[in-house]
Chains A and B, each alone.
With several copies, the nearest count.
Chain A
Amino acid sequence: MSIAITVNGERRDVEEGITVAALLASLDIRASRVVVEHNMRILRAGDFGDARIEDGDELEVLQFVGGG
């Protein structure tokens, strides 16, 4: 079954029970380079594998970019 979540402001349907680590992998994102905020709470990289995503969750996947 799939659930609806919001990633970086966009609605996405993902597998129920997916972890953050799995989500990143499915998006082809290397976990080492990003910061993830899960329902407004920042996850430590070490916790990506344990963090399960529920229906309606909001995720922000962020990284450093050029800035002044």
Chain B
Amino acid sequence: MTVTSDPTVPAASAATGAASDDALRMGPAVLRSRLIHGTGKFPSDDVLRDCLAAAQPDMITLAIRRLSLEGGGRNELEGLDLSRFTLLPNTAGATTAQQAIRMAHLARAASLSELIKVEVVGDERTLLPDPAGTLEATRVLVEEGFTVLAYTSDDVVLALRLEEAGAAAVMPGAAPIGTTLGIQNPFNVRLIIDRLQVPVVIDAGLGVPSEAARCMEWGAAAVLVNTAIARARNPVEMARAFGEAVVAGRRAFLAGRADISFEAVASSPTAGLPTSSS
């Protein structure tokens, strides 16, 4: 087997560590790291900052909220140099398309960019997304010129509709937000990855780095991780581990896995054993 001639393997990836030209493009964003890093629920500003240093993401998510009028509005992002990251504000908290659109407008004013993660919750208990609201918000915001990354369920047709509506990326959840339960529906997630042309980013519910790697091995464009890092016992090391796992999974996808065999095949030669009866 002549490895480098294999058409499924980009030439660039053979020579170097992470493929030097394996950047992920979504609208204006160009990401070398395929780990999108959340910034919520961290135990402290310091921990968040150290996690970002360890995981080295290019893109981070943010929420937009009322500033506390007492105390000048200090918050956990205070210590961060946001200019080092591509900012992906979300519309978390919205339960209707209209609310999401309003939050997108506010986020645009704050970030001076038109990247937005559309998130319209349809059920307060599971925080699972509202199909109709997500689709409507995506349509309107795309129309307005936003680069929309749409958080969605693992519904395959809805993912297709979001792509048709102009989403720059579709973000099916692995499991409900904050649960860290891991991938609940491998079949649908893989189907979505296979059917869509736009990047598929796995969002919500991942628990451990191996699951992030697994998504990447299937061909996901990126993963978004927040709770699994923020709530780990050692968030900084966990952030680093997620960073490594995403690189490993992406690399494995590009390298092309061995074919599964349902029959056992020896790894050591079967011939050439010393005579047993001599």
Number of A-B contacts (CB under 8 A): 122
Contact B66 A64 (CB under 8 A): no
Choice from B39, B67, B106, B274 contacting A67 with Cβ under 8 Å = B39
| Chain B hits for A7, CB < 8 A | 69
Chain A proximity mask over B201-226: 1 for CB below 8 Å, otherwise 0: 00010000000000000000000101
Give the CA-CA distance A44 to B106 in the complex, in Å: 11
Q: Whole-angstrom distance between the alpha carbons of A16 and B224 in the complex?
A: 47
A7 to B73, CA, bound (A): 14
Interface size on A, residues (CB 8 A): 26
- Chain B 238-276, CB-CB to A under 8 Å as 1, else 0, gives 000000000000000000000000000011110010110
Within 8 A of A (CB), among B93-121: 105-107, 109-111
Interface contact B63-A66, CB-CB below 8 Å: yes
Please tell me if the beta carbons of B278 and A40 are within 8 angstroms of each other in the complex: yes
- Taking A62-B106, A67-B40 as known contacts, 12 extra A-B pairs with beta carbons closer than 8 A to each other, sorted by chain A number, are A7-B69, A8-B67, A8-B69, A29-B73, A37-B274, A58-B278, A64-B64, A64-B82, A67-B38, A67-B64, A67-B269, A68-B39
Q: Which residues of B contact A (CB under 8 A)?
A: 38-42, 48, 61-67, 69, 72-73, 75-77, 82, 87, 89-90, 92, 105-107, 109-111, 177, 204, 224, 226-227, 266-269, 272, 274-275, 278
